[in-house]
Structure 1
Amino acid sequence: MNEQTVSPGSVGVRYGIITGFVSIIYSLILYMTGLHLNKGLSYLGTVIPIVGIIMAYLYYKKENGGFMSYGQGLGTGTILAAVSGVLSGTFTYIYLKFIDGNILEQIRNASIEEMENKGMSDEQIEQAASMTEKFTTPEMMLIMGVVGAVLLGFILSLLIAAVMKRNRPEFE
């Protein structure tokens, strides 16, 4: 039985939607509780795409006789990351643009406070703050969110697919 029952694209889209919605719920919880500035919790959000990719690979292998090549894994994970990134990036854009724009101000203020704690001069802080201002708009958060999600997903997929791949034997 050499027939594939699912493709990297179909599994990537399916699990990308699931992963995207889990990421949205996680972000919403952080925004609503005011914990979005907690770096540890923000980094903890990276667990979501890792779990999403692993679940997608397990499903892919289950549906394909236990086999998944490295390329199939890489493709599945990258598609998953792109779909998830577009969904969560769009949510972030809508949330910051139309629901709670104060979050952007909180991010900027936290950034300035962090620079002050590092002992940066007023001139350095002013320069860095103007740069931060340019990157903390809903539009930039959308673009950087999608690009960041795809890059992170690609890197995670490179690693996870290397571990989870199981090539079909040449001769059956």
Structure 2
Amino acid sequence: METSTASPLATPTSVGMRYGLLIGLVSIIISFLLNVTHLEQSPAKWLSLVVLVGGIILAQKAFRRANGEFMSYGQGLGVGMVLAAVSSALSAIFSYFYVAFIDPEMPARILEKGRADLEAKGNMSDAQIDQAMHWTAMFVQGPALVIIALVGGLIMGLIVSLITAAILKNPKPEFE
């Protein structure tokens, strides 16, 4: 009986890093364009999620192709999580620098729109709206912005990777 100790042609880390850099840069460009045009609160913000989903699928397919069309569930999950970590880190760093140096008024715009939306609904008192705005302000500025962006990106990446790895997996047969 012969056992194969050959390492895969591509590792989940190498593929995830490569695609994570690419998806991170694309996400930064999308975020920059949305922020510059003041559309950061519009439905167009979901475009970054579409890019993340597409990037994870492309990365998992590239990993499979590079490894003789085989990919275990764990490898697919690993590719997606490395991609999400790299992409989220780049996006979080960009968000911090954008708010700190390029457009420091962006958090105020977000808070203003949030207050207007809550007032338009009419189901909260002024004290409740003030409390909600206090909490929102803590999350749209400073280090909390980086943490929220990083954790949010990792959670979304995990959810997408769990689903796409289950769909795209093709494990090697055990008795071949």
* TM bucket normalised to smaller: over 0.9
Aligned residue number for residue 142 of structure 1: 146
Give the SS at the match of 1:45.
helix
TM-score between the two structures when normalised by the length of structure 2: 0.94
Aligned residue number for residue 162 of structure 1: 166
Distance 1:116 1:98 in 2: 30
Tell me which of 127, 131, 134 is aligned to 2:135: 131
Give the superposition deviation at 1:140: 1.3
Question: How do 1:97-136 and structure 2 match up within 5 A?
Answer: 97-119=100-122, 120-136=124-140
Question: Would you say the 8 A contact 1:8–1:73 is kept in 2?
Answer: yes
Give the SS at the match of 1:4.
coil
Tell me which of 43, 47, 57 is aligned to 2:46: 43
Give the superposition deviation at 1:138: 3.1
Task: Give runs of ≥4 in structure 1 deviating > 6 Å.
Answer: none
Give the superposition deviation at 1:168: 0.7
1:26 aligns with 2:30: yes
Give the superposition deviation at 1:171: 2.3
TM-score between the two structures when normalised by the length of structure 1: 0.96
Give the superposition deviation at 1:3: 4.1
Distance 1:100 1:163 in 2: 41
Give the superposition deviation at 1:160: 0.5
Identity across matched positions, percent: 43
1:32 counterpart letter in structure 2: V
Question: Would you say the 8 A contact 1:92–1:138 is kept in 2?
Answer: no
Question: How do 1:86-97 and structure 2 match up within 5 A?
Answer: 86-97=89-100
Distance 1:141 1:3 in 2: 40
Unaligned regions of 5+ residues in structure 2, if any?
A: none
Distance 1:17 1:96 in 2: 21
1:75 aligns with 2:78: yes
Aligned residue number for residue 14 of structure 1: 18
1:63 aligns with 2:43: no
| Partner deviation per Cα, 1:112-151 (whole Å, 9 max, x = no partner) | 0111011121111111111111111132111100010011
Question: Would you say the 8 A contact 1:74–1:157 is kept in 2?
Answer: yes
Give the superposition deviation at 1:98: 0.7
Number of equivalenced pairs: 171
1:5 aligns with 2:13: no
Computed over aligned residues only, the root mean square deviation of the Cα atoms, in angstroms, reads 1.2
